[in-house]
Amino acid sequence: MNPEPPKSNNAQANKWLERILESKHILWMIFVLSMLEATIIPIPLELVLIPLLLHERERWFAVATATLAGCLIGASIGYGIGLFLFDTAGQWLLETLNYQDSFNEFKAEFNEDGFVTLLLVGITPIPFQVGMLTAGSTGYPFLLFLLAAVIARGIRYYGLAVLVNWLGERILAWWQKQQKRLGWGVLVAGIAVYLIVIFV
């Protein structure tokens, strides 16, 4: 039996972690949470994912894959909202999550270089809802949007899994204090793993 994983200082994240660990369907639970996090629940997913990866070290790849799959489903839903329902559901989502200012700032950058901007929003702490609503509302090609999401969130989740296996419990405390720096660390780790797989 795996030991009890460490918890964060975020009560909402801890509640979700407890629900997932108590479930017999851990992979489905993290899939659903990731989908919700990408759309309507502004929860710091990493504060659930890091302890879960520590608890499920033997299944780290499956956990990261389920998380990525849930995110992509949520991102596709969000893109559809931006494309077809932006003036109603899209605006409601931005107002509910208080992302209107972030949306306006992001849209200005998105108009200059959409794909690169989507890559950055998928890796950094910028709210992902902002990116998917922007892509949908501007009619950005869905396949390019999905490709950017796969690359960015794949690097984020698989890179995070690598860091968890390397650093252990220390990464949870560091993530809570240095989220932005470790976000870039995840990016570097993800790229390194990709290069190793391709060239070794």
Indicate yes or no: pTM above 0.85. Answer: no
Dihedral class, residue 10 (left if φ above 0, else alpha if ψ from -120 to 50, else beta): beta
Q: Is residue 77 part of a domain?
A: yes
Number of domains forming the structure of the chain: 1
Beta strands per DSSP E along the chain: none
With a cut of 70, which residues of the chain have pLDDT below it? Answer: 1-9, 122-125, 171-200
- C-alpha closest to that of 101 among 65, 126, 64: 126
- What pLDDT, on a 0 to 100 scale, did the predictor assign at position 150? 92
- What pLDDT, on a 0 to 100 scale, did the predictor assign at position 1? 47
Q: Is residue 186 part of a domain?
A: yes
Task: Determine the distance from the C-alpha atom of residue 188 to the mean position of all C-alpha atoms in its chain, rounded to a whole number.
Answer: 16
Q: Both tokens of residue 130?
A: 């902002």
Q: Both tokens of residue 76?
A: 């596709």
Q: Is residue 2 part of a domain?
A: no
Residue pair 55/2 in contact (Cβ under 8 Å)? The answer is yes
Q: Label each residue of 69-120 as H, E or C.
A: HHHHHHHHHHHHHHHHCHHHHHHHHHHHHCCHHHHHHHHHHHCCCHHHHHHH
The CA distance from 178 to 64, in Å, is: 21
Q: Is residue 86 part of a domain?
A: yes
Residue pair 78/39 in contact (Cβ under 8 Å)? The answer is yes
The CA distance from 75 to 37, in Å, is: 10
Over the stretch 33-57, which tens digit does the pLDDT of each residue have? 999 998 888 787 888 898 899 888 8
- C-alpha closest to that of 120 among 82, 161, 152, 159: 152
Q: Is residue 42 part of a domain?
A: yes
Residue span of the structural domain in which 105 resides? 11-199
Q: Is residue 5 part of a domain?
A: no
The CA distance from 101 to 189, in Å, is: 31
Q: Is residue 65 part of a domain?
A: yes
Q: Is residue 3 part of a domain?
A: no
